[in-house]
Structure 1
Amino acid sequence: MPPRRRLTPEQRRSELLDVGERVFGTRPFEDVAMDDIAESAGVTRALLYHYFRTKAEYFGAIWSRAHERLGDARSGIEPPAVRAGVERILQSYLDFYAAHLPLVIIANRSSIARDPAVREPVERTFAGVCAAVLDAAGVTGRPRRLAEAAFTGWIAFVRETTLSAHLDRRITPAENLALCMAAFDATVGAQFPSAPSHDER
């Protein structure tokens, strides 16, 4: 075997995430062992556990990095075109889900779907998007609290209809986008100080 390359801790961690993304992209979470990952990465099991204490934490880091690659989802959410900004962000997430479907299935339909290591990084991202949307729309006071609760429910709605579109194929991606935006208007958007204009729609 060729000698192992010298890498900084950041480079090694990134390399391990690359390997994990490839492996989890082809096999269910339950079928992958950390030994498999270590072998694929050409490192020892001990080194892999030095960077990631559990398999759930490892996948959580992969999932979190994949979301970070979407860029700053909050950019471009500005009045008065708040709804248009939400639709643009939603489309980027739907495209992301389509491109990373095996990872999406693990994150939402596997034994670690509710593990904090998987959920918390993504929930922080969505909380930031929610705050940016409501700030731009000028939602305050009691309507803001209602909108925050509605946004959490809307994210769950988007997740399930998107999985339905890609796994069950009962609806098309275009129908899914329309459903998700209609749900946004009826829940989160209903708390905005004024309804979106026809031009904004």
Structure 2
Amino acid sequence: MADPGGARTSARRRLSPEDRRNELLVLGAEVFGQRPYDEVRIDEIAEFAGVSRALMYHYFPDKRAFFTAVVRAEGERLFEATSTPPEPGLSLLDQLRAGVLAYLRYDEEHPHGAWAAYMGLGRSDPVLRGVDDLDTDRQANRIMGRITEAAGAPMEATLERDLRAVIYGWVAFTFEMCRQRILDPTIERDYVADACSHALLDAVVRVPGIPDALATACRAR
């Protein structure tokens, strides 16, 4: 197998422990993004990075721990990449659309890294499931914050529960739409962003009992 990161110098560069660990995670995302999990050997990662097996195992005790760390790191990078501060006067639709577009740009710029994170989703491994749940919770909380702002006031517990159910379903829908575009890049980016953004607002406006201000924000297209 060719070195996924391109030609590397034979001399090992001096890096701080944190920088070395991050380098290994980036390389891991490339490798796991190109090959099935079961075909990857952790010794290969060490060889590509130009480090000893002992150092590799110092950072990650086994392949499962390494893959989990890769998925966690990719989730963190994706969360930061999709952190789009609301601009004054921007509609709720445009805010959502900006977030989805940021997601799609991240996938375009880090296709192998995105696949590494995707491979973690839906697995039965409880550790990976915990990583996925954490990432989904953070995304849902961020979206719920924007919806609460649009509503103009905190909402009752029952209403917030129903809205969160919609948001969690939407996160899964958006994830799959973005995954389909990685599988087939000919799918138009703007189409995905529009479809996802409208889907959430169409669902939110149907939740019983939402404040008039939120209903108005959802209909402002």
* Residue 57 (1) aligns with residue 68 (2): yes
Q: How many residues align?
A: 198
Going from structure 1 to structure 2, the CA distance change for 1:112 and 1:185 (only over 3 Å counts) comes to closer
- CA offset at residue 111 of structure 1? 6.8
Query: Deviation per CA, 1:6-64, whole angstroms, max 9, x where unpaired?
Result: 43222222222232233334333332211111111112223223323423223223313
> Sequence identity, in percent?
28
Which residue identity does 1:63 align to in structure 2? E
Q: Is the 8 A contact 1:67 1:122 kept in 2?
A: no
* Residue 21 (1) aligns with residue 32 (2): no
Give the Cα separation in 2 of the matches to 1:58 and 1:35: 16
Give the Cα separation in 1 of the matches to 2:58 and 2:136: 26
Aligned 1:100-111 pairs, distance under 5 A: 100-108=110-118, 110=119
Give the Cα separation in 1 of the matches to 2:163 and 2:41: 41
Instruction: For residue 30 of structure 1, give the secondary structure of its aligned residue in structure 2.
Output: helix
Which runs of 5 or more structure 1 residues have no equivalent in the other structure?
none
From 40, 46, 52, the counterpart of 2:54: 46
Q: Is the 8 A contact 2:33 2:116 kept in 1?
A: no
- CA offset at residue 112 of structure 1? 6.2
- CA offset at residue 91 of structure 1? 1.3
Q: Residue 144 of structure 1 corresponds to which residue in structure 2?
A: 160
Q: Is the 8 A contact 1:158 1:180 kept in 2?
A: yes
From 129, 143, 148, the counterpart of 2:142: 129
Going from structure 1 to structure 2, the CA distance change for 1:111 and 1:145 (only over 3 Å counts) comes to closer
Give the Cα separation in 1 of the matches to 2:40 and 2:49: 13
Q: Residue 3 of structure 2 corresponds to which residue in structure 1?
A: none
TM-score (normalised: structure 2)? 0.72
- CA offset at residue 113 of structure 1? 4.1
Which runs of 5 or more structure 2 residues have no equivalent in the other structure?
1-9
From 36, 43, 65, the counterpart of 2:44: 36
Q: Is the 8 A contact 2:33 2:114 kept in 1?
A: no
Q: Residue 8 of structure 1 corresponds to which residue in structure 2?
A: 16
Give the Cα separation in 2 of the matches to 1:150 and 1:116: 20
